[in-house]
Structures are given as structure tokens and as C-alpha cells.
Chain A
Amino acid sequence: MVQRLRVRYAKRGRLRFTSHRDISRALERAVRRAGIPVAYSAGFSPHPKISYAGAAPTGVASEAEYLEIGVSRACDPLRLRADLDASLPPGLDVLDVVEARAGSLADRLEGSMWEVRLTGVDPAEAASAVAVFLAAASVAVERLTKKGMRAFDARQAVQTLTVVTDADGTAGQEPIHSCVILRMVVRHETPAVRPDDVLMGLRLVAGFAPPSPPAVTRLAQGPLDAMTGEPADPLEADRVGGDL
């Protein structure tokens, strides 16, 4: 392996129904079709050196997914971006590629900004539920994990949570005027707190129960900016080439 490249990609539209494993297979095949000289692990059963950082759950769209590809021959990031994007199915779209220069990418992904679109919801009701949630010191929720039902706090990890009133739409999505949008920044913790955990929390503290399934999109993830509290570009450190 002579070089590592860091890739930001989006998971849009119908392809939000892909699981992490689906994406991993699609990527390996796209890399082969595109003729990208991906490096392989040594050993009995060689695997391509592609590693994924914090994949969005099945059913959740994302504008900010990250992975790292190790290659056996130096590649121009711009060329790789074009080749990989052309080879991936529409809906898995490559947005940015940089050469890895510093540190661990996963360590920089401190938090995510999520957008949750809810249809058939009264904005005032949403706003008051959010206020109750934010006023609470902790909100215990339960989720079914591989280890069975697990209880944890959904409040602490939530950095910001707001009701967005102007439905001006986000990248890759048509604006929907009849819906309420929640926007939140959630720190990556263990166990992970996901937007549906926050929704569960809103239901528990304020009886807030949207009638139809939420449309969730990750807008950004990265190091949490001390000033704004929002995630910054995690690839910036590689672009400037300095140490983080």
C-alpha cells in the first residue's frame, strides 16, 4: 500500500435503504469496475483495504459518509473521485476525495448533524416537545440491540436540537412544505445515540408521536467546532497537510 485516500460520499434517495454491508459490497465492486488499484490484505483470504467510519443506519440518508481506501499505486484524488463516482450506482455519490496526510479519520468524527423530516405534525407541538426534551437533564430510552433491549440516556449526547421553520430543503432533496424539520447535532458516544432515539425521547417526555415514519438525513459529521457546536469538515486537516 503506497497511499491512503479519504472519501466523502452521499447515500441518497432510494439508496438510503442500503445497509452498511450492502454499501461495502457495492463499493468493492465499483472499485474493481473502475480499475482503481486497491491494495489487498495479505493472507489466506485477501480483502480489499477499504475501511468505513461510522456508517449511517439502514433507511437513513446521508450527505456525509466517510471511508478510506488503500491503493497499491499512487492515485490522483480528483481522478479517483471521478472514476469511483462514475462506477457507483446513482444515489451513492462521491463528494470529496483527499489524500490522507494526518491522524485517524475516525477520531475526527466527533459528532453528526442530522435532519429529521416529519409529515403531518403541528410545528407548535414539535417546538414544545423539543423544549421539554432540552430542559430535561437526562432522558432514558430503550432500544433493541444485538444484546437485547438496552436502556441508555438520549439527552446528554444531544448538543443542539431545533425546529426549523423555513423548509428551504437541503442538498439532494426536494423541499417539502407540509413538514416539520428537526435539526440536531449529536455527539458520537457509546452507546450511539441516533435520531430515532431522540424521537423516542420526545415521545417519552412530551407524548410527541409523528403519524408517519420520519425521513432522516445526516447532513454533516466531523470535529465539533468549539464556537458553533456544529461539525466541521473532517478532511480539512488532510487538505492543509498539518498535524491535527
Chain B
Amino acid sequence: MSVESLFPRLEPLLPKVQKPIQYVGGELNSTVKDWDEATVRWALMYPDAYEVGLPNQGVQILYEILNELPDTMAERTYAVWPDLEALMRAEGVPQFTVDGHRPVRAFDVLGVSFSTELGYTNMLTALDLAGIPLHAVDRTDDDPIVLAGGHAAFNPEPVADFLDAAVLGDGEQIAIAISELVREWKAEGEPGGRDGVLLRLAETGGVYVPKFYDVEYLPDGRIKRVVPNRPGVPSRVFKHTVMDLDEWPYPKKPLVPLAETVHERFSVEIFRGCTRGCRFCQAGMITRPVRERSITVIGDMVANGVRESGFNEVGLLSLSSADHSEIAEVAKGLADRYEGTNTSLSLPSTRVDAFNIDLANEFSRNGRRSGLTFAPEGGSERMRKVINKMVTEEDLIRTVTTAYTQGWRQVKLYFMCGLPTEEDIDVLGIADLAKKVIKAGREATGSRDIRCTVSIGGFVPKPHTPFQWAAQCDHETVDRRLRELRNSLRNDKQYGKAIGFRYHDGKPSIVEGLLSRGDRRVGAVIEAVWAAGGRFDGWSEHFSYELWMKSAAEVGVDVDWFTVREREEHEVLPWDHLDAGLDREWLWQDWQDAVNDVEVEDCRWTPCYDCGVCPTMGTEIQIGPTGRKLLPLTVV
């Protein structure tokens, strides 16, 4: 049965909405396959606005990989803004894909990529607009399998009732495996219907099907245990790790949108994973071990991506890009290749201790000299020991001063507020540090024309990190500390004018905390917020703290219990049955070390400290140097 394009029904609505081009599709390198030629059909959703979702690497990679399979097709769908949502409801136009403008409900799998928990309400909007029942138990054989991935899927419990399945970790291989499993099931005549295919997925041990697990609670509200409720379903579900990134050089055909998006560049992931061991960093914990892409494959991907896309900026992505074993050679080789072409390079995540000025100069050789950002994260030496971000004050001041003397006028410093064990003095330490940076910069350059911007985010404890047991700091305390910090900066006659200060209030972090460490009971809050009109929670103009608190109270969920309560060692955490490979005892020990200001080294350069990932997952660190060099590109 073929499926008609919804575009003729959508088109008359487009003149009435903001930025209509985002709903039109037709991006360069996008793919529209014949509906009837595919047996397994995926709709891939990034649950935020098109301008945020389109550049997402994860979605682009899976879109390309799935479309390369001969009997599989993949199309993309994004959250529609409330103006179009209202028109779609009025005219009865369902959630559509931007490629073929096909109705999302007609697909076999709806894959939703959650980089953050703040997309949960947008998923509900999409399900509802698609005509797919919100609750997995209400779905029929005519509904797609709703499958979550992305970092937030490492604790999918708050959205467990809305999901049919979730996968943890790298998506490339498991997406192909799922597609193959669904293809076989369909070829056999869909035995067992919806539960039949979900059971097959669950039995692999690599796909979590929430409804096949029962959660039992203790009288005090804590979880007693989470157990499979049917035979064949494993008690633990493991994450997926792609080894040898050189074998997966995606995206090969980067999507180039007509609409403006948040990242207008071609990005190459230069490595995955990070073992620096920052204790607040969920990404660093759940993506272990470090797997580098080799310098030559990076070079080939950049050459291909720039040629295919026409972008004039290349981003070298990773969790800490200057840590690549051959980053200096990569930077020099690329700068040489693109000399005189107005193609600029950017290195989004750079550690103070891995930064060097030669590297920065290579990156700004062929284009704009972009700003420098460093993230000491903690304002005092003690705080940085607690979070294991081992950057000394001397290092930071030396690095920033060097940047000023080399011509950078503006440096951004990123910190967090609300960290475990934090006291007022730790946050006020940020002001001292910023002032010292300006003082040293003025002395070194002899100029007063230098600035730094202090940017602060609220800390949210995340699952699968040593801080998963920690009490989140209440928003009143965060707001008070930030006020005092702001006053300390503003009232400084000598340096205040040279220091910018950017921060958000602490309330959104509480909601993020509820969604990060929540269990299945939090799903009722999400649904109530959505039903009351909650949308686009990652956007400050749409987010409403009051709506979240009111909805939580209505459904009887105690937000404090999920956020500002410290957990004890043996409490069953909602995500304990989902295995990122991290040894729970190691995580607990690292939490104890944090409280005692004990640091841990990086296992790339020092002996293994038994975090548990490699033996559990059968993986190993893959790093260079390879000793190879980038050769000049032949001029076409």
C-alpha cells in the first residue's frame, strides 16, 4: 500500500507560519526513496525545532546509513513550532517527514534521538499529531515502534510509558541490526504482531523494551527492584560501542539546508569517548573508551564533506578535541590544504591543559579568528578536585595570558554552579579567577583592551556518573550564589568593566534534574505538562517552571525527592538495569573520592583504574599516533 505525500495539504498552511522553508525538505544530499521499494521504513525524529535538529550528527549518520541499506528507507521529522501545530490540528494534517512529506504513523519505526531530556514534551506533540497513541500499551499493529536513542536514553524511565523500546550507545551497528530484525519479522508475516517483534528485539539484550520490565517499589517510595516480566527477556540491557571509527566515516553526504540552522558547518567527529574523568560529565562516562579516528580518515572526510556541502567552516568534534593524539598534525595539514580558500576550522571543545597557541594559530590561519572558550567548570582549586577537572589556576592564567599576547582580545570562561559540596566561597572564587585573568592579561599585553566573559550553567546530576547519588543544589541557593558573584564582579572598579557575566536562573536545572534522574512515575508529570500546553522546554521563551511544578503537584510527584535528595549507596536507581559498562562499585568509590578531593588520572596515559567499561563491553582504547601526515589535495 503506497502512501500519498501530505505536501499538497501542508502547502496552503505554509504562507501563514514563521520560517516556512524549514518544513519543505529538499536539502542538498537528502534522500527520498520510493515507498514501495523499501520493506523497513524509518522516520527519524530530532525532537526540537528544525534549526536545532537538522545539524545533529547522530540523526544525519543514521539517516545515511539506513538509506544505504537496499530494502530500508529513512526520512526525517522535527518538532513543528506551535504556529504550525495549531494549523495542522485545525486542518487535520498529521505529523509529516520533511523528505517525502509522508505521515509518520505509516512508518515501521519512529526513532527519536534525545540529546537532552528537554525534548520529551516535543515527542508527545509529534506522537499526538501523528495519530499514534501516547502510551505504548495502547498502540496497535498499525503504529510504528517508537524507539529512543541518544544520551538521555541511558535513563529512559521517565518516558518509559511512551516508548516501545530504547537503545543505549552508538547507533550505527544497532540501527542496522534492528532494521534487519524487523525485515525478517515482516518477511515471516509479522508473527506475534507488535509484541512479537518487540520480544525479538528485547531478547537480543541490546534493545530495552520498558513494558517487559516491572518496577516494584518499597513502601518509602524507593525502587525495590526492576525485573523482566516475561521469559527470554534479559535482566540487564547493554550499551553499544562502535570500534574502529575509520570503518564508519559518516556523514559522507552531509545535509545542507536552505533554512538557517544553529551550526552552519561541516563537522567531523575526530574521536568518540573521553577518559579525562570529569565527574559531572555524563557524556564522558557513557561513551568510553576513547576511540580515535585516524588523521588520514579525518583528512579524507573533511575533503569530501567540504566538496559535497560547500560549507566554509569545518568543525572537528569530540568531547575534548585538543586531546587527539595527532591534533597538531591534523590542524597543520588541514590549514595547509585550505590555505587561501576562506575555509575556517573550529575546535569546539578545548581543555586548558591541552591547548597550545600554535594550534590556535593554525585554526585561525584561513578564516575568521573565532573566540576562545575554556571551561575550568569550578571556581576554586578544591571544587576542581571534587569534579576531577584538573586545571590549576596557574595553568589557566598562563594559557589565557598567552592567548591575549597573541592577539585574542576576548576569552570566554565556562563554569558550573550548584556542584556537590559547593559553598559560597567556591562560586565567589570565579570572580577572583576572572579578575586575575584580566590583571595578568593587562600586564602581559600592556593594553586595557582585553575582556573575558564568565558564563555559568547550573549543575544537574546525571545517571551513570559518580554524581548520580548526589543531592542536586536547590535553585534558591544557586540563584543566591550567582547574585553574589554578579555583585562581586559588578562592584569591582578595577576589573569589573572588562568582565562579562552570563548566567541563567536555577529553575530550569531543577526540571532537567527531575527528568534526568526520574523514574517511571515522572512520566505522568511530562504528560500533564504537555497536556497543559508545555512545548519546547529547551527554549526559555517557551519553558515554564511554574507549569512543571503545578503539574508535578497535581499528579502527586514530589520534585524535591527526585532532585535535592541524596541517594545512599545501595538504593536501586531507576537506570541500574541499563548497563553502560561502568562498574557500580567504581562509580561509588569515585563519588567518595570526589567528596574527599581525591583526583583520578586519565587511563590513556596512566594505568587502568578499573572503571569496568572495557572488560564489560569487550572494548579497548584506540588511540594514535599513527605517524601519518596529510598530503596536499590535488587541485581539481
Contact A89 B342 (CB under 8 A): no
In this assembly, does B3 line the interface, its C-beta being within 8 Å of a C-beta of chain A? no
Question: Does A33 count as interface, using CB distance less than 8 angstroms?
Answer: yes
**CB within 8 A of B14: which of A26, A29, A33, A59?**
A59
| A118, chain B: closest CB distance, angstroms | 13
Q: Which of A39-92 contact B (CB under 8 A)?
A: 40, 44-46, 48, 58-59, 87, 89-91
CB–CB A19/B15 < 8 A? no
**Shortest CB distance A139–B (Å):** 23
Chain A: minimal CB distance from B473 (Å): 41
Interface string of A12-51 (1 = CB under 8 A from B): 0011011101100110111111010000100011101000
Residues in A neighbouring B20, C-beta threshold 8 A: 17, 58-59
A87 vs B310: C-alpha distance in the bound complex, in angstroms?
A: 10
Contact B256 A45 (CB under 8 A): no
Q: Is the CB of B24 within 8 A of A17?
A: yes
Q: How far is the CB of A129 from chain B (nearest CB, A)?
A: 21
Q: What's the minimum C-beta distance from B31 to chain A, rounded to whole angstroms? A: 14
Tell me, rounded to whole Å, the shortest Cβ–Cβ distance linking A9 to chain B: 14
B12 in contact (CB, < 8 A): yes
Q: Is A213 an interface residue (CB 8 A)?
A: yes
Residues of B close to A35: CB separation below 8 A: 636
Contact A22 to B258, CB < 8 A, known contacts A14-B26, A29-B311, A46-B342: yes
B636 in contact with A89 (CB, 8 Å):
no
CB contacts (< 8 Å) of A25 on chain B: these are: 258, 260, 264
Given contact pairs A89-B28, A91-B26, A213-B12, A29 touches B342 in the complex (Cβ within 8 A): no
Residue pair B368, A30 in contact (C-beta under 8 Å): no
Cβ–Cβ contact B26 & A32, under 8 A: no
A212 sits at the interface (CB 8 A): yes
Interface residues of B in 7-27 (CB under 8 A from A): 7, 11-12, 14-16, 19-21, 24-26
Let me know if B307 is at the binding interface, CB within 8 A.
Answer: yes
Interface residues of B in 353-385 (CB under 8 A from A): 368
Say how far A31's CB is from chain B's closest CB, in angstroms.
8
Once bound together, how far apart are the Cα atoms of A31 and B180, in whole Å? 40
Is B309 part of the contact surface with A, judged by Cβ < 8 Å? yes
Are A213's CB and B15's CB within 8 A?
Answer: yes
CA distance A35 to B635 in the complex (A): 11
A15 and B26 contacting across the interface, CB-CB below 8 Å: yes
Cβ of B312 < 8 Å from any Cβ of A? yes
Q: Name the CB-closest residue of B to A21.
A: B260
Contact status of A15 and B258, CB under 8 A, knowing A35-B636, A58-B20, A89-B28: yes
Residues of chain B lying within 8 A (CB to CB) of residue A21: 260
A236–B11 CA distance with the chains assembled, in angstroms = 36
Distance between Cα atoms of A26 and B21 in the complex (Å): 13
B106 close to A (CB within 8 Å): no
B636 close to A29 (CB less than 8 A):
no
A22–B260 CB distance below 8 A = yes
In the bound complex, CA of A129 to CA of B368 (Å): 55
Is the CB–CB distance between A32 and B312 below 8 Å? yes
Asked whether any CB of chain A lies closer than 8 Å to the CB of B259, the reply is yes
A40 to B14, CA, bound (A): 36
Contact B307 A89 (CB under 8 A): no
**Residue in B15, B256, B258, B264 whose CB lies within 8 Å of A18:** B258
A26 touches B258 (CB 8 A): yes
Name the residue of chain A whose CB is nearest to the CB of B307.
Answer: A33
Given contacts A29-B309, A30-B310, contact A17 B14 (CB under 8 A): yes
Which B residues are CB-close (under 8 A) to A14? 7, 11, 24-26
When the two chains form their complex, are residues B368 and A45 in contact, meaning their CB atoms are under 8 A apart? Answer: yes
Whole-angstrom distance between the Cβ of B138 and the nearest chain A Cβ: 36
Q: In the complex, which residues 292-313 of chain B have their Cβ closer than 8 Å to any Cβ of chain A?
A: 307-312
* Interface residues as binary, A85-109 with B (CB distance below 8 Å gives 1, 0 otherwise): 0010111000000000000000000
- With A and B bound together, what is the CA distance between A121 and B11 in angstroms? 19
Q: What residues of A have a CB within 8 angstroms of the CB of B19 in the complex?
A: 19
Known contacts A22-B21, A91-B26; A212 and B12 CB within 8 A of each other: yes
Closest chain A residue, CB of each to CB of B312: A32
B309 touches A33 (CB 8 A): yes
Interchain CA distance A69-B198 in the complex, whole Å: 57
- Return the CB mask of B268-308 against A: 1 if under 8 Å, else 0: 00000000000000000000000000000000000000011
Cβ of B12 and Cβ of A17 under 8 Å apart? no
- With most chain B CB atoms within 10 A of its CB, the pick from A25, A31, A46, A90 is A25
Q: What residues on B are CB-neighbors of A22 within 8 Å?
A: 21, 258-260
Give the chain A neighbours of B16 by CB distance below 8 A: 213
- Cα A25 to Cα B308 in complex, Å, equals 15
How many Å lie between the Cα of A63 and that of B530 in the bound state?
Answer: 44
1/0 per residue A190-213: CB within 8 Å of B? 000000000000000000000011
Residues of B within 8 A of A26 (CB): 258
CB-based contact A28/B636 at 8 Å = no
Question: Across the interface, do A18 and B21 meet the contact criterion of CB distance under 8 Å?
Answer: yes
Distance of A15 Cα from B14 Cα, bound (Å): 12
The B-contacting residues of A in range 218-236, CB under 8 angstroms, are none
**Least Cβ–Cβ distance between A48 and chain B, in angstroms:** 8
Assembly CA distance A46 to B28 (angstroms):
25
What residue in chain B is nearest A40 (Cβ atoms)?
Answer: B342
B310 to chain A minimum Cβ distance, whole angstroms, is 3
Contacts of B7 in A (CB 8 A): 14
CA distance in complex: A90, B25 (Å): 12
In the complex, what residue of chain A is closest to B21 when comparing beta carbons? A17
Contacts of B11 in A (CB 8 A): 14
Q: How many Å lie between the Cα of A17 and that of B259 in the bound state?
A: 10
Per the bound structure, the CA–CA distance linking A48 and B28 in Å amounts to 21
Quick check: A89 and B258 within 8 Å, CB to CB?
yes
Residue of A nearest to B28 (CB): A89
- Give the docked Cα–Cα distance between A241 and B12 (Å): 44
Q: In the complex, what distance in Å separates the CA atom of A212 from the CA atom of B307? A: 42
Report chain B residues within 8 Å CB of A213.
12, 15-16
> CA A242 – CA B323 in complex, angstroms?
61
Contacts of A91 in B (CB 8 A): 26
| Nearest residue, chain A, Cβ from B259 | A22
> Contacts A26-B258, A59-B14 hold; do A19 and B21 have CB atoms under 8 A apart?
yes
Nearest CB to that of B16 among chain A residues? A213
Q: Please provide the chain A residues from 1 to 17 with a CB less than 8 Å away from any CB of chain B in the complex.
A: 14-15, 17
Q: How far is the CB of A195 from chain B (nearest CB, A)?
A: 13
Q: Is the CB of A29 within 8 A of B256?
A: yes
Q: Inside 8 A of A89's CB, which chain B residues have their CB?
A: 26, 28, 258
Give the B-binding residues of A (Cβ under 8 A): 14-15, 17-19, 21-22, 25-26, 28-33, 35, 40, 44-46, 48, 58-59, 87, 89-91, 212-213
Interface residues of chain B, those whose CB is within 8 Å of chain A, are 7, 11-12, 14-16, 19-21, 24-26, 28, 256, 258-260, 264, 307-312, 342, 368, 636
Contacts A/B (CB < 8 Å), 17 sampled: A14-B7, A14-B25, A15-B258, A22-B21, A29-B309, A29-B310, A31-B310, A32-B312, A33-B308, A33-B309, A35-B636, A40-B342, A58-B20, A58-B21, A59-B15, A59-B20, A87-B310
- Sample of 15 further A-B pairs with CB below 8 A, known A14-B24, A58-B20: A14-B26, A17-B20, A17-B21, A18-B21, A19-B19, A25-B258, A26-B258, A29-B310, A32-B310, A33-B307, A45-B368, A48-B342, A59-B15, A90-B26, A91-B26
Listed from nearest, the 7 A-B pairs whose CB atoms lie closest are: A29-B310, A33-B310, A32-B310, A17-B20, A213-B15, A17-B21, A14-B24
